Amino acid sequence: MDLTHRFAEYRALVTGGGSGIGRATVLRLLDEGAAVAAADVSAPGLEETRELASGAGTADRLTTTVLDVADEESVRDGAGAAVEGLGGLDVLVNAAGILDSAHTETMTLAFWNRIIGVNLTGTFLVTRAALPALLATGRGVVVNFSSTSAAFAHPYMAAYAATKGGIQSFTHALAAEYSKRGLRAVCVAPGSIDSGMTRAPGLPEDLDADLLAKLSPALGKGFAGPETVAGAIAMLASEDGAFITGTELRIDGGTHM
Ligand SMILES: NC(=O)c1ccc[n+]([C@@H]2O[C@H](COP(=O)([O-])OP(=O)(O)OC[C@H]3O[C@@H](n4cnc5c(N)ncnc54)[C@H](O)[C@@H]3O)[C@@H](O)[C@H]2O)c1
């Protein structure tokens, strides 16, 4: 199959497009022919993504938007302009997210709210803003970001894990609610992917290393690059994933089996 044209005539909005898995997804969808709007809170991150797209000769189909997914107004304006610029929307990838770790017994409400705000509320706000366009196209797909931490215990990450479990439930409800209108909604659940997030997971200094020991990939090659997840997202968002909705795809090198 010629993958260079799998997304020809497709329009995609990717949040978190300024780093890691979101950036790899932007570049992959561009490579496969899509017009892509990359959104991120980091302007320098988006600039770097643009440079990489330029190097690949695909930057002419890329637009970038600085927005904060946790801020209702910023999402309304930023996502609205991005979708308008694309002239519609077929694929939404909600990759923006933050990870921070803490002992639950001393976790502050501000810490909890910050993570819920970006990961869970941010996924809701961007999805809500994109839904009219995704429903109008008749082949809309939402790819949300869960994590292995949603279904498997990760110590010190209670807030993060709660957002990822919530995103899975949100995605299932979305898939059911709009299934008759041609919308698919799926989650990827990555683990052990090399990115800005996993290089600085903010683990407490006085952690119990035994509790973290089981969090390494069984495949024995260490962490994988973000392109690994981008390839799976491209499959899920394309016609190859046409019969897949309301479910998760775990991509963690067998860390959890
Ligand atoms: N790397 C992994 O192993 C792993 C595992 C499970 C889940 N995930 C999920 O993958 C997704 C992508 O993360 P990544 O690993 O590429 O990390 P990353 O830190 O490299 O990328 C996250 C991006 O989100 C952006 N972002 C953060 N807050 C934002 C906000 N308020 N508004 C807009 N953009 C914001 C950041 O600027 C950054 O560009 C996240 O949802 C993360 O939870 C990653």
User: For the domain that residue 182 is a member of, what is the CATH number?
Assistant: 3.40.50.720
Give yes or no for residue 73 having a pLDDT over 80.
Answer: yes
Residues annotated catalytic, as ranges: 160
Kindly state whether residue 99 falls inside one of the protein's structural domains: yes
Q: How much is the average pLDDT of 140-165?
A: 96
pTM (whole model) above 0.75: yes
Kindly state whether residue 45 falls inside one of the protein's structural domains: yes
**Domains of the chain: total:** 1
Helices (runs of H) and strands (runs of E) counted in the chain = 10, 7
Report the nearest-CA residue for atom 2 of ligand 1: 193
pLDDT classification of 3: cutoffs 50, 70, 90: low
Q: Which residues contact 55 (CB under 8 A, 6 or more apart)?
A: none
Q: What is the pLDDT of residue 25?
A: 98
Give yes or no for residue 1 having a pLDDT over 60.
Answer: no
Dist. CA 28–CA 32, nearest whole Å: 6
Q: Give the atom of ligand 1 at the shortest distance from the alpha carbon of 194.
A: 1
Q: State both tokens at 111.
A: 């810490």
Kindly state whether residue 88 falls inside one of the protein's structural domains: yes
Q: Which residues contact 223 (CB under 8 A, 6 or more apart)?
A: 192, 193, 194, 198, 217
- 21: domain range? 3-251
pLDDT classification of 84: cutoffs 50, 70, 90: very high
Ligand 1, CB within 6 Å, residue ranges:
15-16, 18-22, 40-42, 45, 68-70, 95-99, 118, 122, 145, 147, 190-193, 195-198, 226
Query: Could you give the dihedral angle defined by the CA atoms of residues 235, 238, 244 and 246, in that order, rounded to the nearest 10 degrees?
Result: 100
Kindly state whether residue 212 falls inside one of the protein's structural domains: yes
- Give the whole-number percent of the chain exceeding pLDDT 90: 89
Q: Give the atom of ligand 1 at the shortest distance from the alpha carbon of 74.
A: 32
Kindly state whether residue 201 falls inside one of the protein's structural domains: yes
Dist. CA 206–CA 45, nearest whole Å: 32
Query: Per-residue pLDDT tens for 57-68?
Result: 999 999 999 999
Q: What is the pLDDT of residue 2?
A: 61
Q: How much is the average pLDDT of 210-224?
A: 83
Range scoring the smallest mean pLDDT among 7-21, 51-65, 111-125, 192-206: 192-206
Kindly state whether residue 257 falls inside one of the protein's structural domains: no
Kindly state whether residue 23 falls inside one of the protein's structural domains: yes
Kindly state whether residue 256 falls inside one of the protein's structural domains: no
Report the nearest-CA residue for atom 43 of ligand 1: 97
Give yes or no for residue 103 having a pLDDT over 60.
Answer: yes
- Give the whole-number percent of the chain exceeding pLDDT 70: 98
Q: How much is the average pLDDT of 141-170?
A: 96
Q: Give the atom of ligand 1 at the shortest distance from the alpha carbon of 196.
A: 20
